[in-house]
Structure 1
Amino acid sequence: MKATLIQMDIKWADSAANQKAAEQAIHNAPKSDIYILPEMWSTGFATHPENIAESDGKSLAWMIKMSKELDAAVCGSIAVYENEHFYNRFYFVTPDNEPQHYDKRHLFTYGNEHHSYTAGDKRVIATWRGVRFLLQICYDLRFPCFSRNNNDYDAIIYVASWPESRIHVWHTLLCARAIENQCYVIGVNRIGIDLTCKYNGSSEAYDAYGRIMVSCDDNRATAMTFDIDLEKQDSFRKKFPVLNDRD
């Protein structure tokens, strides 16, 4: 399976411009099975989502359209208003099935995300073309118990708005999650500046050995593609069965 990381700048609260930028980046990338966008890719990370979060499904509709056109999965998180609640919702869209979603479990209290958003309570694994993806959002990366591999997934996707000031933590924890869970880990971060933070990207993917498969340049909108090889990963897990000894 080919996976493409879409590292992009995000214009504040301008879903039309961000859809256009994402579409251009996807079309300029190699043909893939899955395209991964950052956290709140359609608006920027909004801790005060009033008048910003989507209730009309416009960005989700765009993801569905792109998925069908590309015959590929398209995923990333969107600020959503539904049933009088705000959610930081990670949509996983495929051409043939209803979209799956994961609502961010660990809200970023340091940035007051918990004051406006409702936390999710379900762990979500989406399967696409034989690969099982655990869906996670940004701050979830700091909580390894929640993402512990129970032999129920092959890869973790973290979509993020992770600031430049803490980027060392980003690199370290992505690698750690890959090693401890014997899986691929894909981290897709944004670039640019919003109302409070500067972002320098550093999107990357690791294999089960903790080796970097692909890494995006800092501070540049770009797309990078790599191969997910489940046969190789399964062979490593059988040879060195760490997961059998997990707590």
Structure 2
Amino acid sequence: MNELHVSLVQTSLHWEDAKLNRQMFDEHLSEIQKTDVIFLPEMFSTGFSMRPSEVAEPMSGETVTWMKEKAKALNAVVTGSVVITENGKFYNRLIWAEPSGEIKHYDKRHRFSYAGEHEEYSAGQTRSTWEYKGWRIRPQICYDLRFPVWARNDDDYDLLFYVANWPARRSYPWKSLLVARAIENMSYVVGLNRVGEDGNGIDHSGDSVVLNPLGETVSAAQPNTTEVVKATLSKSDLSATRERFRFLNDRDTFTLD
């Protein structure tokens, strides 16, 4: 498939209220038509909560079930991170729900120690790459953005994406690092961030964006607004850019511990 149509839902979140957030996203998703992938924010059902014992759900819980139902109804992938409990541990887990009913997941590798995330959540150990409609896709979550080695493209993905609860006071690093990841990896990059104030009084400005392999903006949200950003990614444009510049051919090789 040459084109991939993506939709980014930039919105505020109801603090630690999964039911209310699912109802809110019901409304947002009802406005989306003819798309391939729908991106929801990090911890979209709760906000960035450090109380996993109070808000976590199992993989068989209502939020993952809701994602599966929405993916089937909309004939599109629905993806975003959820607080998950599994085998006595808590994870900031990105769920990738396909229309077929298949579920994939990625556990956040880099926990935000500044907010104590490392004390509450277990770290993911595996970089994931998923294929969908002929596109190779690499999922990551928020703070992962600050660690370029974890995102390094070994010529094995076409789209890198981040879902986030990134504070407004650090919006400049958010915008700058997304551009850097696109340029250095010669990849499309999707960065979806929430807006509004969370339960800890931290404000978020959104600044959600879709970038091309040269770091140029394909589509972007206005800051501090609730909106759905849509973009069309082109495999032929990606291939032409990589063929013209071939920067990935000169990449270093390394092994991750």
In structure 2, the residue matched to 1:202 is: 207
Matched, 1:29 2:35: no
Give the structure 2 partner of residue 80 of structure 1.
Answer: 84
CA distance in 1, matches of 2:36, 2:49: 29
1:74-223 map, 5 Å:
74-196=78-200, 197-223=202-228
Residue 13 of structure 2 contacts residue 44 of structure 2 at CA under 8 Å; is this kept in 1? Answer: yes
Q: Distance in 1 between matches of 2:62 and 2:186?
A: 37
Aligned partner letter, 1:71: N
Q: TM-score, normalised by structure 2?
A: 0.94
Alpha-carbon deviations, 1:134-159, whole Å to 9, x = none?
00000000000010000110011100
2:255 is aligned to none
Shift of 1:219: 1.2
Instruction: State the one-letter code of the partner of 1:211.
Output: E
Counterpart of 1:42 in structure 2 is: 45
Q: Tell me how far 1:217 sits from its aligned partner.
A: 1.2
Contact 1:135/1:158 (CA < 8 Å) preserved in 2?
A: yes
Q: 1:90 Cα shift? A: 0.3
2:243 counterpart letter in structure 1 = K
Alpha-carbon offset, residue 18 of structure 1? 0.7
> For 1:40 and 1:22, how far apart are their aligned partners in 2?
13
Q: Which runs of 5+ in 2 are unaligned?
A: 253-257
Distance in 2, Cα, partners of 1:112 & 1:48:
11
Question: How much identity, in percent, do the aligned residues show?
Answer: 40
> CA separation in 2, counterparts of 1:68 and 1:45?
27
Q: 2:5 is matched with which residue: 2, 14, 36?
A: 2
Query: 2:107, 2:40 → 1: CA distance?
Result: 16
Query: 1:44, 1:102 → 2: CA distance?
Result: 18
Aligned: 1:14 with 2:49: no
2:230 aligns with one of 225, 228, 237? 225
Counterpart residue identity of residue 168, structure 1: Y
Any unmatched runs of 5+ in structure 1?
A: none
Letter in 1 for 2:220: S
Matched pairs, number? 247
